[in-house]
A and B are shown apart, each in its own frame.
Chain A
Amino acid sequence: MRTAAPLLEVRDLVREYPLPRPSLFAPRPVLRAVRGVSLTLAAGSSLGIVGESGCGKSTLARCVMGLERPQGGQVLIDGEDIYALSRAGLRRARVKFQAVFQDPYGSLDPRHDVRRILLEPLASLQPETGRAEHASRIAEALEAVGLPAEAAGRYPHEFSGGQRQRIAMARALITRPALIVADEPVSALDVSIQAQVLNLMMDLQERLGLSYLFISHDLGVVRAITDRVAVMQAGKIVEEGPTGEVFAHPRHAYTRRLIESAPKPFSGRRRRARAAQEAPA
């Protein structure tokens, strides 16, 4: 038993996308979305990834979720390299890690009712569960995210944005995973609803011992929910450390610029780009 192995370890991950050739015989240029990222996430804790759009956060998330084979590096979950597994092996491993995505409107199939949405990962990844167990697991998942049992018979369009994110969370929880990869899970929600969903995620983490890889462009949100944070810029991690530490004493210039640019109440009228001293973008 490797007791010391972290729940998630990413080693030197590289993910490139081929771009269209500029001319017929030119070599195909590549876009290096993730350029050598290494991370570890201990069981029961949460790691935030912050950075601006296009810096490679979602690409990293898709690689961690076993959805896109990286060109280099490894993703180890419970010490197991998921890209070295067979198809069947990867399927078995998926029980342990599930995902929540940003868009509360695009992440649930409008044609499926909630029961069918929740059943999909359960029936696919744990086919040994029977009909009776399906019903109880669906009830359990809905309860965990604070939705009534009747919600199972309704369709996504009947729910508000915050409730849809709860459904997405229930879908992620139904296989009883250890790791949840959440890519901008609250970015599309209003502040008051965002707070409800973040609190729910914290409750669930404590109750179920979950680990989160929590991706967001919003520093405030990351600060509220993570133990450690990694700051990503142009496909690389430029700074990583305990969340409180990084926000209080940012070491990298880019981290400082991000923190300085973020609007804050109570700061009074000010010019912030000047304060952050940066070139026009």
Chain B
Amino acid sequence: MSLLRAVLGSRNLTIGLVVLLLAAGMAVVSEFWTPWPPYAMRIRDKLQGPSLAHWFGTDNFGRDIFSMIMAGARNSLEVALTAVAVGMGLGVPLGALAAARGGWIDGFVMRLSDLAFAFPALLTAVIVTAIFGPSATNAMIAIGIFNIPVFARVTRGAAMGLWKRDYVLAARCAGLGDAAITWRHILPNINHVLIVQATIQFALAVVAEAGLSYVGLGAQPPQASWGKMLSDSQTYIYGAPHLAIFPGLAITITVLGLNLLGDGLRDLLDPRVRRRR
């Protein structure tokens, strides 16, 4: 199959996919099995360094960090993916609409996104959680809302230039309407911009989730998330750096994998690059 060959032919894409599958796999497996019960505190074993029994060591409550990272993967990935999906799902169409129609529609969409920008993410989250109560789901929605104007702006900016291209005029001459032109000619030509933005927003969402959890608006204790583990580790950063290192590595590797995946996807979707290889 040529698609499979193309995917395997790209080192970036392969590494990216493997990393993401590993992270997702951890999340799924953690539902059934973890080396230790992730939320069981054993104060006696607290702040142990990595060992054969506790691969990544234990935290200040004696919980097994490896097990927590497995369990946290689910929260972190879910929050980040949903936040990006919400942001893209609403932001991209809004930005595309603004670019296609211009005029007052464009003005309206852009003012709306200014408004959303003017609210700090945390405040948005506070409002959402104040209305719906604190939970991981509501954290996702809050972060997702904050992503909408980001994607709307990026989409509009990239699309605007394309609407002046002659191939868009040619499509008009072929009787295509704005929606068809957006779907066939605009979005495929800006997907690289969107992919890059999505990986950035994903990374930011993982971190934002940590912030929300930290102030008690995200994942509720005892539930773990990478961001929360990272922020909980602050006090022990000198005495027990492994508390920060392992969740930090999990975030970094996932974001890196996502970046590689994004690069690989971008190349896969671009006929100019695809042929050259």
Contact = CB atoms under 8 A, between A and B. Distances in A.
Do A's and B's CB atoms come within 8 Å in the complex?
A: yes
A107 B176 CA distance: 15
A99 B169 contact: yes
B166 interface: yes
B272 interface: yes
A158 B275 contact: yes
A16 interface: no
Interface residues of A, number: 29
Contacts of B272: 110, 155, 157
Contacts of A110: 189, 270-272
Given A101-B169, A108-B167, A157 B174 contact: no
A109 B175 contact: no
Interface stretch (A117-125, A140-148, A217-225, A231-239): A117-125
A120 B176 contact: yes
Given A102-B166, A108-B167, A94 B271 contact: no
Contacts, number: 73
Nearest to A65: B173
B171 interface: yes
Given A120-B171, A155-B271, A109 B189 contact: yes
Interface residues of B, number: 21
A107 B189 CA distance: 14
B175 A111 contact: no
A93 to B, nearest CB: 10
B237 to A, nearest CB: 48
A120 B172 CA distance: 10
Contacts of A101: 166, 169-170
A155 B188 CA distance: 14
B46 interface: no
A125 B167 contact: no
B171 to A, nearest CB: 6
B185 interface: yes
Contact of A99 (B170, B180, B185, B275): B170
A29 to B, nearest CB: 18
Contacts of B176: 120, 124
Contacts of A124: 174-176, 180
A110 B272 CA distance: 8
B277 interface: no
Interface in B263-277: 269-272, 275
Given A111-B269, A120-B171, A155-B272, 12 more contacts: A66-B173, A67-B169, A90-B175, A99-B170, A109-B184, A110-B271, A111-B185, A121-B170, A124-B175, A124-B180, A168-B170, A171-B170
Interface of A: 62, 65-67, 90-91, 94, 98-99, 101-103, 106-113, 120-121, 124-125, 155, 157-158, 168, 171
